[in-house]
Structures are given as structure tokens and as C-alpha cells.
A = this chain, B = another copy of it.
Amino acid sequence: MRSAVNTPFPVSHGSAAQRIESELRRLIVALELPPGVRLSESDIAERHGVSRQPVREALIGLARTRLVEIQPQRGTVVVKISVRKMMEARFVREAIETAVVRRACSSFDRQSRERINDLLEMQEQAARRDDHAAFQRYDELFHIALAEGAGCPLAWEAVQDIKAHMDRVCQLTLPGPEAMLPLIEQHRTIMSAIDAKDEDNAAEAMRRHLTEILRALPQVEAEHPELFSS
């Protein structure tokens, strides 16, 4: 069994379908499979050394989260980024996560609180060495720990798919440590408000955090129009 001490990434799941889905999701979020490219069941199956069936199940899973679009009898493509839908996604995510931090102000699990400190530290290290993948993974773990600490792990599930799309945008807007470090500072601001049990400040800090993430969206759309839908 592979050790995971040096990486925040979990080992691959059980079935081949789940493995491939995770792998494809990673590639899509990292924009290594850019929006618009066609995905062929046969190609992917061959590349991964499995049959087409598990690949098909993986693509169905990705289609459910709107990361790919399966066009019946035609093909499967990585969906392009829609500014409108990103704005809607931010709205929904803001609604959920501001509610979570408000709840966190009432009571927060001590163990999760300590874990978050560790996560923030490791996320900062990832940012300083310009490691996007690790940065985003620790960001994910931060929001997971937040939801769990607030006693609402189900909230994470609702945010998960939305976050995947936003992370795809972040891949374009976070070109270096100087762009990542402020986000970590925002995380710390959120936690300070939670520690102080200041609901309004915590919610506002989260709101600003999520707004900030998509601030540069119009700019990257101008720079990479081929990645966006009309």
C-alpha cells in the first residue's frame, strides 16, 4: 500500500470505474483536459488498460456533475466554462457556506478546529512552493473540515460539485504564490471570526472570500475565450 505521508491525495478508490473517474476529474479540473476536447470511451479505456464499460460509468459520473456532456450517439466533450453558471454557482455556494460558518459560531468541534490549523499551515507551504494541486486539495480539506466541525458534513457534499467548477477557474486565476497567499489569509480571517463567535463577521468574511475567487473571471475570459461557452 502506497504511503500518503508526503501527499494530501488519497490512494485510488476500489473499482476501476471510480479510479478512472477520479483521474479524469483531476485532469479536467487541472485543465489538462481543457474545455471543449472530445473524450472517447475507447481511447480512455485503452490508455488505462481497462475495457470500455468502467470508462463509460466514469463518464456518466462526470456528466452528472456537469463536468462533461454526453451527446447521445455523438460523443462526450469536456464542458466549457460558462460565466453565467459560475456566477450562479458562486451564489449557491455562498448561501451554503455562509450558513455553515454562522452555525460554526454557535458550536465548533475542537478536533476539527485543530485540524484546520494544520491544514492552513500546509496550504501555505503548498502556495509558497507554487504547488497548485496541493493548494487546491488543502483548500478542499479546509472546507470539508469546516463543514464537519460545524456538524453538517452534508453541506460539503452539496458544495463539492460546485467547487470543482470553481477550481477550474482558479487554475487560470492563480498563477503564482502571490495570488494564492491572500486566499489563505482570508481563510484565517474566517476562522478568527468563528473563534470570536461573531456570526456576521464570519459570514461576511466567507462572502468576500468566495467573491474574491471569481473576481478575475472576466479577465481570464478575455484572455482565453476558447475555454468559455458563448
Contact = CB atoms under 8 A, between A and B. Distances in A.
Nearest to A96: B95
Interface in A107-121: none
Given A64-B61, A158-B158, A99 B89 contact: no
Interface centre among A64, A96, A103, A158 (most CB of B within 10 A): A158
A72 B14 contact: yes
Contacts of A89: 154
Nearest to A82: B154
B95 A99 contact: yes
A6 interface: no
Given A95-B95, A96-B95, A162-B158, A88 B152 contact: yes
A108 to B, nearest CB: 15
Interface residues of A, number: 29
Contacts of A72: 14-15
Contacts of A53: 53
Interface majority SS (helix, strand, loop, mixed), chain A? helix
Between A57, A61, A152, A154, the greatest number of chain B beta carbons within 10 A of the residue's beta carbon is seen for A154
A155 B89 CA distance: 8
Contacts of A56: 57
B60 A158 contact: no
Nearest to A152: B88
A92 interface: yes
Interface in A63-104: 64, 72, 85, 88-89, 91-92, 94-96, 98-100, 103
For the complex of A and B, the 3 pairs showing the least CB-CB separation, nearest first, are A95-B99, A88-B154, A95-B95
Interface of A: 14-15, 17, 53, 56-57, 60-61, 64, 72, 85, 88-89, 91-92, 94-96, 98-100, 103, 151-155, 158, 162
28 contacts: A17-B60, A53-B53, A56-B57, A57-B57, A57-B60, A60-B60, A60-B61, A64-B64, A85-B154, A88-B151, A88-B152, A88-B153, A88-B154, A89-B154, A91-B99, A91-B154, A91-B155, A92-B99, A92-B154, A92-B155, A92-B158, A94-B99, A95-B95, A95-B96, A95-B100, A96-B96, A96-B158, A158-B158
